[in-house]
Structure 1
Amino acid sequence: MFRHIIIFIILTLYPLLSQGESVEHDLLKVIDSHCVKCHGRDGKIKGKTDLFTIKDLDGLTKNPELIQTLIEVIDFNEMPPEEEVPLNSKQKDASLAALKQLQQTSSENLQTIAHAPVRRMNRFQYDNAVVDLFKLKGVVFSLPERMMREHRNYFQPETGKMAENVTVGSRPLGKSQLIEKRLGGVAPFPQDLRAEHGFDNRGDHLSLSPLLLESFFKLAQSIVTSNDFTPENVGVWDWLFKEIRDDQDVVLEIQNRLERFLYLAFRRTPDSALLDRYTNFTLARLEETQSLPNAMKAVAAAAISSPRFLYLYEELKAEPAIENVKEFNLASRLSFFLWGSIPDERLLNLASEGRLSQSEILGSEFERMLKDQKLKRFCDSFPTQWLQLERIISAVPNEEKFPGFYFLKYRDSMHMMMEPLLLFETVLIENLPITQFIDSDFTYRSSLLQEAYGDLALGEEPDKPKSEVTVLNFKRIPVDDRRSGGLITNAAVMTMNSGPERTKPITRGAWIASVIFNNPPEPPPADVPPLGEEPAEEEAHLTLRERLAQHRERADCRGCHEKIDPLGFALENYGPVGDWRTQYSNGRKVDMSGTLFREHSFTDIIEFKDALLEQKQRFARALAGHLLSFALARELKPEDALVLDQVAARTIKNDYKIQTLLKGIIFSNAFLQPTVSE
């Protein structure tokens, strides 16, 4: 593979540099003698990489994608491959340092940090924005992507402490179980798809077609005409929809109301022309309906179906140079990152005064936002997508093999999905180290979930009172057995990364690579058939590791398997529904041993967790990458790498505290500086 060859270039170059020879001459010489034979010479191009065209170091500096690839394959010990001589620590460190310097030069030459293109709100953000704009008592519509339905007001971030006992609902309970107060007669628009290895707020996935724009207009009409859109349920009614007194000037009062409303809805001060248009529209509706509340409802519907409300965009100067982000843009980016919604009036006022971007003010607003109830929306959106928890909904273990997973129409997955979400919320509210995600000293369990983790005999159905299934009461408990605790070994992750009949080590390994280390593997070749759920007769005596060995025989599969196999097989003691096991059904002993990144050997799950904790710096940077992508609503690019290094370093310095990580994101150049329009 071309990656192997490029790594060889760096290795060959290092000793030559110590002799004081020309960097450019030696690099080009190595490329010519060791690489271009398969990567460019005589038209032969392996890996779709033509190295014959690299004539100087300037050309490599202009290729940040290639530089980033080199850094990743060296840092993760993916290259050289297993059959080649590995890098010693001195060679690896020197190579990474050289590449980081090239990356720094490349980033300085680019002079831009990419931001998301103009995009519309997804429906989760739209729901939140409408609720906040009108201060509704309830939601606009129930959303399946909001996996946790809060039954009791346990989420109190202002206290800095998570509740010991939590009662919640979950998505699979069905509509009859939901207690959310919402607007009657309002139906949501279709759910937005998540980007692969990304989030559902990505700008490249959120277009606004004329047909969808029309549907937003109809949606807006249904909101303001809902029978539940009343003074009792609408917190802004008194200053926006209430009848005008006889002693008030009608035009002036409408202008004053609209100026404040449009300021909130459009997240910036409306200019006089825009205000006049909306005022004239309202006056026309007032003359037509003879009802101020109805006229204001009409203009409110027009506002929340306007691209100015629906679109998330940033105003940029025309000259091609980096500038501090405009204050209103920063207010919106902050609020959509942490609250999944529009800025409140305080953020907008600070932006209007030109003070929000001041470090002291920005820091205090960050602290305030973390203590606000609206932080729950961040917890409802980011961790679910980061952990890919929506996959647990479609998990269907074989009912004959795992009858304990089912009870009437309910599944254990209702309880399983809550455990990692409650862990995330606790780490965030209490500002704990992110290492708790790998190996926590506490967790949340319902009685049913605690029983599901127990040593039940295969095929035995536990005693499940219906009340324990349909009501999700969770209690915070200490983790005394390190086989439990953290995100990686919880039952939700184990179950959603298994098939109906068996575990899927490759899927589990890919999940760890993608979620924990933000280094997803390439998709498998299309012509490689998947392993069957049940072994063929001649394979019945084999372990799963032995059955999967054939997939490593292909040269184009070997590289990825070297990366993800140790991660997946490390979890083989956890069965298809997360139950602990030491042997397979054929009597063969489970072998979960392996080596993490060719550095840390392990023979049991405790040693595997210890190996992961040895790589906690790598995890901090990976989580920073997930959060930065979520915050900026775009795919990360090579020029973001330096930002991630800085954020991770700050987090590590402060004992891996999660709020330090979040603060590092909002104080990063990528968050504070816009790009030049392409």
Structure 2
Amino acid sequence: MDRRISGSILSLGLGLAGGWLAWPCLRVSAETVPAVPASPVPAKAVDQASRYKKEVEPLLVNYCYDCHGDGSHKGELAIDSFKDIAAMQKNRDVWKRIREHIGYKLMPPADEEQPSDQERQQLLSWIDAAVFPVDPAHPDPGRVLLRRLNREEYRNTIKDLLGVDLEVENILPPDDSGYGFDNIGDVLTLSPVHIERYLAAARQALDRAVHPDPMPRPERKIAGATLDGPGRRSEDGHYLWKAGEAVCNPEFYQPGRYLLKVVACGTWGGNEPPKMELRLDGNLVSTWEVKNLMDTPKWYTAEVKIDTKGPHRVGVTFPNDFWDEKIPDPSKRDRNLMVNRVEIQGPMDGPLPPKPETHRAIYGERRSNEDDKAYALRVLSGFARHAFRRTPQTGEVERYLRFIGVAGSQGQSLEHGIRLALEAMLASPSFLFREEPVQGGGKSDKIVQLGEHALASRLSYFLWSSMPDDRLLDLADAGQLRQQLDEEIKRMIASPKSERFISNFGGQWLQLRNLTSASPDEKRFPNYNRSVGRDMRKETDLFLGDVLRSNLPISTLLEADYSFLNGNLARFYGIQGVEGKEFRKVSLAGTPRRGLMGQGAVLMVTSYPTRTSPVLRGKYVLQNLLDMTPPPPPPNIPQLGGGHGKNMTLREQMEVHRKDPSCANCHALMDPIGFAYEQFDAVGSFRNDDRGNRIDTAGKLADGDAFANPEELRELILRKHGNEFQRALASRLLTYALGRGTDWYDRPAIDAITIKASKDNGRFQTFIRAVIDSVPFQYRRAS
């Protein structure tokens, strides 16, 4: 079971007041510094113990002890084995499951006597107060593990640091996920394979970014298949099977000396190889005998002088064609020439080309009278500040100077030595791990405010999935980042880099990454293809980005009457008047599509390849939009359709399935929500019937509220369960921002985030600012 605190499950699942929402709220500003460690609150332990004896234990004895007490321990749970509240607090994971099962009405089983709603609420409120107490005056920021960069963070950091886009998917192992995200410290393990791969990735990135050797002369390659003239062209080149000339007219940008290279091969005729002539503007430059055969092309090089810039005619001529079918040896009957390509290098005189911009950004310009050590130290210090996301410590960079000596001992230049040092920095823990050092050491359990550099890193990896830029580092250096948080958050959201937040947070929260592995049945859904799937993902990314950058209320995610479509996707949806490849904002008025649950990407990831799944769609709404995570199905439950009858509709099959008491409670939560969207098939197309059967979208939530269609369900969610939706987003944002799952002690932070956002009409950017202001984001334990 997911360890995250699950928002308020009661008002939707049970129609009860209280639950998690009854816990006290706390609003915390960035300046609030808790003075003592957070801890469970024992002040009312005696009262809770007394309440347990008077109110709670009799309920447990009546409803639970038949299976989980008095010597019974079904499912290896004996509630009466916990002798006091302290024992319960030591086993909070067990009591989380107990609370969830009571809250979901999974226990007692459906065929046993059930407590009243008031009794159930009594149990839940006691568990909250006694087993999961929090002290609002001393909030606990929790512990965030030292964690390495995940694969996407590594790619973006290398891109922003070195200016090269490395295809890390082909180099680094994939990351595991926890709590729905792949940036969770608990699962970001480090293996020997990772270390080898990180070193290989650093080498490949630096090979593309820096050039310690002298720059080569400019070189252009002209494929033989693009040459004009007689003969036959293929991907191998230009095949001259009779006498003739293959010609190109390249541009020479300045006068000078150039090397003209022809890569060629051929077939012999008689006892002679083909001859090849190189001509420049019709004048013979050089002649060669091409003795190498077709599978062994070879370079033929000549130097020429170009007097005027502009286009010049370069011709490769085959003058000695031969054909004699009477020759006994078939390999000597036909003499031909294959021109694989032409290469032009130069000009060979004059100054060498400048180093690429990526190299110059790192190495900079060497100052006059600056010795090797001073220059290397300056370059490495500047690089370390960005790579380590902080000011280097005293003596930290100096140790990398040893690589200058290593390069010198091998006869290499100072620039080679610096490159070796850069490689070592990219393989160091300070680069690969998200460090958050505590001033004065980290041996106490005191709660401390993050330093400004650590805050800059949390901000940048939250909103950009990458390292802080110069602006953030400069503010952190000056100790002014907290003072200018509003401006910086707005700047970061407006930056193109925030696309990474949309892709990484949105792609995982909404499970859009699963689209890449979706494979709908081609026979059942002939109108669907891969390009439609790609456009669906882009639609949802653009939609989520619009809600974020326009700072719209998050209710827009559920009720928006617009989306972003191109011609391809509009045709698939059956929407008229949209043409072309470009995406644009399109009104959905008069269509059955509204918000996320009307978008093909969401509808597809909640379906099977051959059919829809009310269970998956219902679970998706509960888990991702209302932060309610139903437990996994019990073991040995038959798959849907097993013995249910081939002529039954899907709804009828599900109703039979729900007659099993072990299935009924969970499906009562999920199925009605899923059936509301049954008019959208497994690839998100709208339909009026399911293979001739009428589709019934009506349903009833577990709290008794009925709805007839997805529009009424949406209104129910927004009107009666909007707070759960806000808490769901707050919990997911906090999980993603911290790199850990939220837990019971995060309740005050989630309360504070939700309250702050609701006061601003639930706007998306206000949620983000509230997460950044929260105690878990701003503080940490010193240990």
- Same topology, TM > 0.5: yes
Contact 1:28 1:55 in 2 (8 A): no
The answer for the alignment partner of 2:205 in structure 1 is 223
**Cα distance change on mapping 1:605 and 1:345 into 2, 3 Å:** same
The answer for the alignment partner of 1:405 in structure 2 is 528
In the aligned structure 2, how far is the partner of 1:380 from the partner of 1:232?
36
How many percent of aligned residue pairs carry the same amino acid?
30
1:280-291 map, 5 Å:
280-286=402-408, 288-291=410-413
User: Between Structure 1 and Structure 2, whose CA radius of gyration is higher?
Assistant: 2
Offset of 1:58 from its aligned partner?
A: 5.2
Contact 2:364 2:379 in 1 (8 A): no
Match of 2:770 among 654, 664, 676: 664
The answer for the alignment partner of 1:347 in structure 2 is 472
SS where residue 623 of structure 1 aligns? helix
Match of 2:699 among 589, 594, 607: 594
In the aligned structure 2, how far is the partner of 1:626 from the partner of 1:227?
36
1:330-479 map, 5 Å:
330-356=455-481, 358=482, 360-406=483-529, 410-454=530-574, 472-479=581-588
Q: Which has the higher helix share?
A: 1
Contact 2:614 2:674 in 1 (8 A): yes
**Cα distance change on mapping 1:69 and 1:529 into 2, 3 Å:** closer
**Letter of the 2:511 counterpart:** Q
**Letter of the 2:500 counterpart:** R
**Letter of the 1:383 counterpart:** G
1:129-528 map, 5 Å:
129-134=157-162, 136=163, 138-141=164-167, 187-195=170-178, 197-226=179-208, 235=357, 237-238=359-360, 240-242=362-364, 244-245=366-367, 247-286=369-408, 288-316=410-438, 317-356=442-481, 358=482, 360-406=483-529, 410-454=530-574, 472-481=581-590, 483-528=592-637
**Cα distance change on mapping 1:518 and 1:233 into 2, 3 Å:** farther
Structure 2, unaligned runs of 5 or more: 1-8, 19-47, 216-352
Instruction: Indicate the structure whose relative CO is greater, using CA pairs within 8 Å and at least 6 residues apart.
Output: 2
**Letter of the 1:323 counterpart:** V
Offset of 1:75 from its aligned partner?
A: 7.0
SS where residue 582 of structure 2 aligns? strand
The answer for the alignment partner of 1:14 in structure 2 is none
SS where residue 535 of structure 2 aligns? helix
**Letter of the 2:686 counterpart:** W
Offset of 1:234 from its aligned partner?
A: 6.0
**Cα distance change on mapping 1:599 and 1:654 into 2, 3 Å:** farther
Residue deviations 1:114-158 (CA, integer Å, cap 9, x gap): 233122111111111111112x1x522275xxxxxxxxxxxxxxx
Offset of 1:551 from its aligned partner?
A: 2.6
SS where residue 444 of structure 1 aligns? strand
Offset of 1:390 from its aligned partner?
A: 2.1
In the aligned structure 1, how far is the partner of 2:172 from the partner of 2:49?
63
**Cα distance change on mapping 1:277 and 1:120 into 2, 3 Å:** same
**Cα distance change on mapping 1:43 and 1:67 into 2, 3 Å:** closer
In the aligned structure 2, how far is the partner of 1:418 from the partner of 1:232?
39
Deviates more, 1:658-667 or 1:24-33: 24-33
Residue deviations 1:547-575 (CA, integer Å, cap 9, x gap): 12333233332222122112211111111
In the aligned structure 1, how far is the partner of 2:427 from the partner of 2:367?
29
Contact 1:116 1:202 in 2 (8 A): no
The answer for the alignment partner of 1:613 in structure 2 is 718
In the aligned structure 1, how far is the partner of 2:505 from the partner of 2:60?
47
**Letter of the 1:208 counterpart:** L
Residue deviations 1:282-304 (CA, integer Å, cap 9, x gap): 34425645433322222111111
TM-score (norm 2): 0.69
The answer for the alignment partner of 2:73 in structure 1 is 45
In the aligned structure 2, how far is the partner of 1:304 from the partner of 1:43?
59
Offset of 1:87 from its aligned partner?
A: 5.9
Contact 2:604 2:683 in 1 (8 A): yes
The answer for the alignment partner of 1:117 in structure 2 is 145
RMSD: 3.5
Contact 2:389 2:457 in 1 (8 A): yes
Q: Aligned pairs, how many?
A: 596
**Cα distance change on mapping 1:563 and 1:233 into 2, 3 Å:** farther
Offset of 1:479 from its aligned partner?
A: 2.2
Residue deviations 1:375-412 (CA, integer Å, cap 9, x gap): 12111211111111122222222222221113xxx442
In the aligned structure 2, how far is the partner of 1:305 from the partner of 1:658?
37
**Letter of the 1:320 counterpart:** D
The answer for the alignment partner of 1:570 in structure 2 is 676
Structure 1, unaligned runs of 5 or more: 12-19, 144-186, 457-463
In the aligned structure 2, how far is the partner of 1:676 from the partner of 1:102?
27
TM-score (norm 1): 0.79
Residue deviations 1:67-95 (CA, integer Å, cap 9, x gap): 6667766777777887877866x888887
**Cα distance change on mapping 1:103 and 1:132 into 2, 3 Å:** farther
Deviates more, 1:91-100 or 1:564-573: 91-100
**Letter of the 2:387 counterpart:** A
**Letter of the 1:27 counterpart:** E
